[in-house]
Structure 1
Amino acid sequence: MKVGLFGANGRMGRVLIEALDQNENAELSVATVRDDSPWIGMNVGELAGIGKKPIDCLGMSSLTQQHADVMIDFTLPVVFENNIAWCVANKMPVVIGTTGLSESQLAVLDEAAKTIPIVFAANYSVGVNLMLSLVRQAAKALGNTADIEITEAHHRFKQDAPSGTAMAIGEAIADELGRDLKTCAVYGREGKEPERDQGTIGFATVRAGDIVGEHTALFADIGERLEITHKASSRLTFAKGAVHAAQWLHGKPAGLYSMVDVLDLK
């Protein structure tokens, strides 16, 4: 299967090049960068630090439908709509890992899924997606009595906060408890506040160094607490999950899918 990459020069783009190089059942067929990028013509293997490969980076305007069976997009919200528009116009399945999308961009995503198959996830790690299932179980058992807090930590370069994964954890918990995260979420605390409202879900964010990704869901009651934690030590974990999702997506009908579908965690 031929897999193409949007944003090959990004941090995740480079790791995806490595992940595809290691995969026996999928191959990197095209790697794109912006049309004004200095990376045009750069060998993808040298870009990813894995040795010279038979593919060089192309500008977006040179990308055609014949280049790939499925595209993977781990870029930025600023280019998301252009990338998804290209996929729709070319009837191209796409795996999307871009986080920090606005409400209007999520609406664009939903509309595109009526035409093409899309896997969209905040995190492509198998462990994180298992964690989403576990926090639902914990919320069902403890959520009506325990205080719930979500903490996350990432590298200094990450722009969106809280992370997409932290928000997905919060959404899973809120959904299980029949709450609306938009109204019950608390993002950081400062100064003197009233006693904590047990119906809220708190978020705390750390941005430091080269932390790949750490997430904890805390369920704290009087006398006991449960912590469910996932720590990633390599972006290759996410990249391999995205490649697996691309293989799964190939040949699927139009629709919006998640890693729950890919991993059959229902």
Structure 2
Amino acid sequence: MLTVAIAGASGRMGRLLLEQVAASENTKLVGALEHAGSPELGADAGALVGRPWGVRIVSDPVVALQGADVVIDFSSASATPDVVRAAAAAGVACVVGTTGLSAEAEEALREAAKKIPLLAAPNMSLGVQVLAHALAETLRLLGSDWDVEIIETHHRAKRDAPSGTALRLADVVMRSRDLTHDDLKHGRHGASAQRTLSEVGMHAVRGGDVVGDHTVLLAGAGERIELTHKATSRAVFAAGALRAARWLKGRAPGRYTIGDVLGIAG
């Protein structure tokens, strides 16, 4: 039996995770966390998905993590550092799916991974992991004279841009070509916008209710390749996070990836 706490329990992803837990026979919710001003504080977390469990939503991470094997964090970029620090102090494994993390949050992740098993990923889906793997292999086969552009599309309410998944795909390109973040070109405008061979174009599109589309365009002389992943339901992210939590339970302290969970490099 896996016991889990969910940070950001009443949010969009939190509710999807609650549904995943409700559908699982070997997973038990023991804690639910929300920010201090949440109107859901004190409510039964299970009632949010029509399954009252007697687990009250609280604002204290120490309380929420009691009895948990793993905490799954889909809270907010500002709340994640506190969740991660509390998990490290309690010896609770941690899965982080929150995106747009600050330097403070990244440092909290690094420190926590010295004490607990920790997995942080901007996208928990199997398909995106396969996309990253395919991109690495495609870059290896093509060489460095193909232009690379990354285009991501999300719903109008998404706060961070570019998406964490787009940045992860950019990391794959940069590792393959020995580039840095200075080589990323975020959009183009003006009368002198010619690209250089080394730059990696990054484009963020926002509109409607798009769950998440990511395309890597590789353009050569006389031909081009497009690698695309389209998420049509956020449930794949919740399912992936819960799968990661099951895998993470009992692991040695350290920083893990979705690739480790799935046995896919890239």
Alignment of 1:174-185 (within 5 A): 174-180=174-180, 182-185=181-184
The one-letter code sitting in structure 2 at the alignment partner of 1:135 is: L
* Paired residue secondary structure (1:2): strand
Matched, 1:210 2:205: no
* Paired residue secondary structure (1:88): helix
Q: 2: CA distance between counterparts of 1:59 and 1:45?
A: 13
Alignment of 1:221-232 (within 5 A): 221-232=220-231
* Paired residue secondary structure (1:220): strand
Per-residue deviation at 1:265? 0.7
For the 8 Å contact 2:149–2:218, the answer to whether it is kept is: yes
Partner of 1:101: 101
For the 8 Å contact 2:22–2:51, the answer to whether it is kept is: no
Q: Which consecutive residues of structure 2, in runs of 5 or more, have no partner in the other structure?
A: none
Partner of 2:137: 137
Q: Which consecutive residues of structure 1, in runs of 5 or more, have no partner in the other structure?
A: none
Matched, 1:74 2:60: no
Q: Given the superposition, is the C-alpha separation of residues 97 and 65 from structure 1 closer, same or farther in structure 2, using an over 3 Å criterion?
A: closer
Q: 1: CA distance between counterparts of 2:190 and 2:258?
A: 39
Matched, 1:153 2:153: yes
Segment drifting more, 240-249 vs 55-64: 55-64
Which deviations, in whole Å up to 9, do the C-alpha atoms of 1:195-251 show, x marking residues without a partner?
310111001111111110000011011111110100001110000000000000000
Q: Given the superposition, is the C-alpha separation of residues 83 and 201 from structure 1 closer, same or farther in structure 2, using an over 3 Å criterion?
A: same
The one-letter code sitting in structure 2 at the alignment partner of 1:11 is: R
Alignment of 1:26-45 (within 5 A): 26-45=27-46
Q: 2: CA distance between counterparts of 1:106 and 1:207?
A: 26
Q: 2: CA distance between counterparts of 1:189 and 1:247?
A: 43
Q: 2: CA distance between counterparts of 1:236 and 1:194?
A: 39
Q: 1: CA distance between counterparts of 2:79 and 2:11?
A: 13
Partner of 2:119: 119
The one-letter code sitting in structure 2 at the alignment partner of 1:82 is: D
Segment drifting more, 25-34 vs 157-166: 25-34
Q: 2: CA distance between counterparts of 1:211 and 1:186?
A: 24
Q: 2: CA distance between counterparts of 1:116 and 1:213?
A: 30
For the 8 Å contact 1:39–1:57, the answer to whether it is kept is: no
Q: Given the superposition, is the C-alpha separation of residues 45 and 15 from structure 1 closer, same or farther in structure 2, using an over 3 Å criterion?
A: same
Partner of 1:255: 254
Q: 2: CA distance between counterparts of 1:55 and 1:244?
A: 24
Segment drifting more, 61-70 vs 230-239: 61-70
TM norm structure 2: 0.94
* Paired residue secondary structure (1:63): helix
Which deviations, in whole Å up to 9, do the C-alpha atoms of 1:104-158 show, x marking residues without a partner?
3212211110111101111100000111101101111224111100000111111
TM norm structure 1: 0.94
Q: 1: CA distance between counterparts of 2:73 and 2:171?
A: 23
Matched, 1:220 2:219: yes
Q: Given the superposition, is the C-alpha separation of residues 104 and 35 from structure 1 closer, same or farther in structure 2, using an over 3 Å criterion?
A: closer
What's the % identity of the aligned pairs? 39
Aligned length: 263
For the 8 Å contact 1:143–1:219, the answer to whether it is kept is: no
For the 8 Å contact 1:81–1:108, the answer to whether it is kept is: yes
* Paired residue secondary structure (2:78): helix
For the 8 Å contact 2:29–2:55, the answer to whether it is kept is: no
RMSD across aligned positions (CA):
1.5
Matched, 1:196 2:224: no
Matched, 1:46 2:47: yes
Per-residue deviation at 1:18? 0.9
